[in-house]
Amino acid sequence: MPERNHSSVTEFILTGFAGLHQEYYGLVSAVLFFVYLITLIANAKVIFLFATNHSLHKPMYYIILNLSVCDILFSTTTLPKIISRYWFRSGSISFTACFIQMYFVHYLGSVNSFILFQMALDRYLAICYPFRYSLVLTKSNILILSITAWIISKAFPLMMVIRAYPLPYCASNIITHCFCDHIGITVLACTDRTPYATPAFTAAMVTLLGPLAFIIFSYGSILIAVYKIANVQGRLKSLSTCSTQLIIISLYYLPRCFVYLAQNVGITFSADVRIVIIMLYSLAPPMINPLIYCLRAKDMRESLLKQFCKRIVPRKAHVAAISNS
User: Where do runs of H (alpha helix) occur along the chain?
Assistant: 25-52, 59-87, 95-128, 130-136, 139-152, 155-164, 182-186, 194-227, 232-264, 271-296, 298-324
Q: What is the pLDDT of residue 204?
A: 79
Task: Return the SS3 of 293.
Answer: helix
CATH number at residue 281: 1.20.1070.10
Q: Is the pLDDT of residue 146 over 90?
A: yes
Q: Give the residue among 70, 82, 144, 81 at the shortest CA–CA distance from 106.
A: 70
- Specify whether the CB–CB gap between 112 and 252 falls below 8 A: yes
Q: Is residue 156 part of a domain?
A: yes
Q: What is the pLDDT of residue 86?
A: 87
Residue 274's pLDDT band (cuts 50, 70, 90): confident
Q: Is residue 315 part of a domain?
A: no
Q: Is the pLDDT of residue 187 over 60?
A: yes
Q: What is the pLDDT of residue 264?
A: 61
- Specify whether the CB–CB gap between 125 and 136 falls below 8 A: yes
Q: Is residue 210 part of a domain?
A: yes
Q: Is residue 1 part of a domain?
A: no
Q: How many angstroms separate the CA atoms of 213 and 207, rounded? A: 11
What predicted TM-score, i.e. pTM, was given to this entire model?
0.85
Q: Is residue 137 part of a domain?
A: yes
Query: How do residues 231-265 score in pLDDT, each as one tens digit?
Result: 777 777 777 777 777 888 888 888 777 777 776 66
Q: Give the residue among 206, 200, 215, 197 at the shortest CA–CA distance from 253.
A: 215
Give me the number of domains the chain comprises. Answer: 1
Overall average pLDDT of the 188-215 stretch: 82
Q: Is the pLDDT of residue 279 over 50?
A: yes
Q: Is residue 171 part of a domain?
A: yes
Whole-number mean pLDDT of the chain? 83
Buried-state track 92-104, b at ≥16 Cβ within 10 A, e below 16: ebebeebbebbbb
Q: Which of 89-93, 151-155, 215-219 has the lowest mean pLDDT?
A: 89-93
- Specify whether the CB–CB gap between 75 and 39 falls below 8 A: yes
Query: How do residues 280-292 score in pLDDT, each as one tens digit?
Result: 888 888 888 888 8
- Specify whether the CB–CB gap between 101 and 216 falls below 8 A: no
Instruction: Say how far residue 316 (Cα) sits from the centre of its chain.
Output: 39
Domain span at 90: 11-304
Q: Is residue 323 part of a domain?
A: no
Q: How many angstroms separate the CA atoms of 59 and 56, rounded? A: 9
Q: Give the residue among 55, 157, 42 at the shortest CA–CA distance from 101.
A: 157
The percentage of the chain sitting over the pLDDT mark of 70, rounded to a whole number, equals 91
Residue 2's pLDDT band (cuts 50, 70, 90): very low
Q: Is residue 3 part of a domain?
A: no
Q: Is the pLDDT of residue 1 over 50?
A: no
Task: Return the SS3 of 149.
Answer: helix
